[in-house]
Structures are given as C-alpha cells and as structure tokens.
Amino acid sequence: MSEMQKAGAEAGVAVVFVPSLPKTGVSGATRWMNANKAIIQLSLRYRTNDHLWFTFFHEAGHILLHGKKDLFLEYKNGLDDEKEQQANQFAQNELIPEKAMNQFISQGDLTKNSIKAFAKEVGIAPGIVVGQLQHRDLINYQTFNDLKQTYKWPHE
C-alpha cells in the first residue's frame, strides 16, 4: 500500500446522499473538509444498485489514491482523465475482482442464471454484474435490468 493509500485509509469519511442537481450529470463527488475528513456525496442519479455502488467505490478510490486538495465530481468528461481512469479501475476491481470477472466472461455463458450464480460466487448483487457487463458492451443496456435493484427517495 502506498503512503497516499495509507493516509486515505486512516482518514474519516462521511457518506451523504443528496438529490441530483438538474442538468449537471453529477452522480457523485468527493471533497476533503480538512486533512483527516473526507465527504463522499452520492446523488442516486441513475437510481440502480450497479450505478450507486460503482459511484461509491469510484469516489472512495479518489480518497485512497489521490490528493486531498482536489475536488472530484463523477460525471462524463471528468476533471482529470488519468485520475478518473484510476478511480474507475479501483471501483471495478473492488466490486468484482478483475481475474474472476475475466474468467466469467471467457466462459461465454452470459445468461441470467449464470450471472446469478457468478454473483453469488463472488458475493455481490447480480445487478452489479449486469451493470459491468453492460458497461463492457457484452450485453445490451436493456438486458437483465430486472436483476438490478432500484432506489428512490422517500418523498417520491
């Protein structure tokens, strides 16, 4: 573990859910309040467990991998492409270990039952596996969305 990761791991982190701001495209943000307190803000913008958990781990990646003076907003066309890619890779690997995912994909059996079995094997919700397969263009974005959990605000 690098010195930066050790420092991030020792920091206090607050997770806050906030309504998404219209027309911003922001689903998450990370900022440091002081040297030892970070805030991860999640908006539920896409309302599904695959997006929520990817965004959470993406933002956690910024805390563990990057400087404390930066503000990170999760949306298309991120502020620093290299750091965004690092945070994306961190999130993917934390959700589903790369070796396990690659092995699953290489079997070529991307059915609903195989996704459920793989999700159980790696200890993650099937909807998160679906989201990763959709993101990699291995299944259509409309395929198996019934395996995803949907979230909504209490007032909705």
**Residue 102 and residue 82 share a domain:** no
Range of the domain at 104: 97-156
Q: Which strand (E) or helix (H) includes residue 57?
A: helix 49-65
Please give the residue that has the higher pLDDT: either 1 or 42. 42
Whether residue 76 sits in one domain with residue 152: no
Does one domain contain both 115 and 149?
yes
Strand partners, 15: 40
pTM flag (> 0.85): no
pLDDT in tens, 6-26: 554 556 888 988 887 777 777
- Residues 127, 150, single domain; the answer is yes
Half-sphere exposure of 127 (CA within 13 A, CB side): 15
Average pLDDT over residues 72-85: 66
Listed in sequence order, the residues at least 6 apart from 8 whose beta carbon sits closer than 8 Å to its beta carbon are 38, 63, 64, 65
Co-location of 55 and 75 in the same domain:
yes
Statement to judge: residues 101 and 151 lie in one domain: yes
Question: Are residues 11 and 77 part of one domain?
Answer: yes
Question: Is the model more confident about 32 or about 105?
Answer: 105
Same domain, 103 and 68: no
DSSP readout, 17-39?
E-PPPTTT---EEEEEEETTEEE
41 and 24 in one domain? yes
Residue 109 and residue 91 share a domain: no
Q: How many domains does the chain have?
A: 2
